[in-house]
Structure 1
Amino acid sequence: MVSSLQSFDIELKLLLEGIYLKYQYDFRDYSLASLRRRLTQATADFGCETLSELQGRILRRQEDFARLLQYLTVQVSEMFRDPSYFRMLREKVMPMLQTYPSVKVWVAGCSSGEEVWSLAILLHEEGLLDRTILYATDVNPQALRAAAEGVYPLDRIASFSRNYLASGGRASLSDYYHANYGAASFSRWLKRQVVFADHSLATDSVFSEVHLVSCRNVLIYFNQPLQDRAVGLFADSLVRRGFLGLGSKESLRFSKHNDAFSEFDAPARIYQKR
């Protein structure tokens, strides 16, 4: 007899297959446990009794699919998250990037842009921004629009500022934004070297040779085959001895591409391509 969880998982797989066939978004290799939580919440919020009912809605109404994307993609971030990571970038990685005449950085899974703006500030303070191209990619178009806007609620700025100072910031974070109507708008000049673009780690290919890939707190939402695919893309993108930054709970230990990298700074989860 099929349990209710097994029935849910069958409906979940059918929903993801339908999304792939209709919209060409591939979530089939995302972590099953994470998808269960997210889609259970989505089913309730959409007022549906079952995932099958939700599937019928999103396959017929593109606006409902756009809404569902907010549940399927990760939208949790903050500026200078894990300050020790940014401090190690500043102290150990940036001096090596400064030896190149030009630099390319890829922020994969940039969500609403907090990490992109953080890296732009860091590159500026280390004298690298003007000769760097920053690629900020995500599968969610709404998240990309928010990232490009660079506008965040003022009640988040205090924690952003603490992270910035803990990461070795050379000024005050307030030097980089203007406060208006309860929101902080980061200075437009910071994104003059940023290219915001749609890119899926599940289906798309390498698009440029880069010196640093920062993909943090994204792989934890993938199953092992998709993690391997993503890390393979990063390895193919990076120049020899280029850098890969992962989230604090992520590792290359079980990746089939582990041998392509050495640990550059283990506590900060920074790896270097061999």
Structure 2
Amino acid sequence: MKRLENRVALVTGGNRGIGEAIVYRLAEEGAHVAVNYPWDTMREQAEAVVRNAEALGVKAVAVRADVGVKAEVAAMFEQVRAALGDVEILVNNAGVAPFESFFKLKEETWDRTFNTNVKAIFLCSQLAAETMAAKRYGKIVNVLSTASLVVTSPVIPHYQSSKAAAHMLTKGMAIELGKYGINVNAVGPSTVDTDLCADYLADPEIRRKEIEANPMKRLGTARQIGDAVVFLASEEAMQVNGHLLMVDGGLSVKAAQPEDHLER
């Protein structure tokens, strides 16, 4: 029997990159999956992910919502419930990381980053936890970052602040929701070679420095993040709660060297 057989999962930002890989890993383990995407322009992309997930033998559905807006989140959960059932596994993956240094950082960039990276976790988790608590079962996994623990670049202070806040939110939810049988955990990737990082990693020198800075001397893959999410969503992790599982090759425990900090 597969580890997540017939469980219902929702992956925010599941239409591309790490989110897409998470969708496929959940589907491979037997979970029915809702693929969230933020804008109508990404509908075809999300529907392609749905078709690929269905080819793995599960049910899947694409659901549009800006996960930083409460009304849209509520509508999304109703759509998922109608199509697949109550959400039992919530993966808060949606995130943004625009490059802006401290003196150039705009208020709207700060607000958009916190809405997507922190507020969305709160909104989605609050709704998911209502039905999870009633069933005395649920798994919430937040996709965070090496930046949740250490400063990874001098040009993303808003991103690092949001991921640190999301880390504390993960811990707070774990303590409050644990008594309802809900596990709340997180995974922390370092730089992952996906389309979202394509422009950044297109510079051969930046790619070389990212690889050299990592103790494993390689970039992470989206599938590796999916593997970690599957573990935290499985019965194998029933007693794991409030934990940030770093999937960063050891980068967050390595003392930084000057060449680790890359400016654009």
For the superposition of Structure 1 and Structure 2, which TM-score range results when normalised by the shorter chain?
Answer: 0.3 to 0.5
Q: Which protein has the larger Cα radius of gyration, Structure 1 or Structure 2?
A: 1
TM-score (norm 2): 0.33
TM-score (norm 1): 0.32
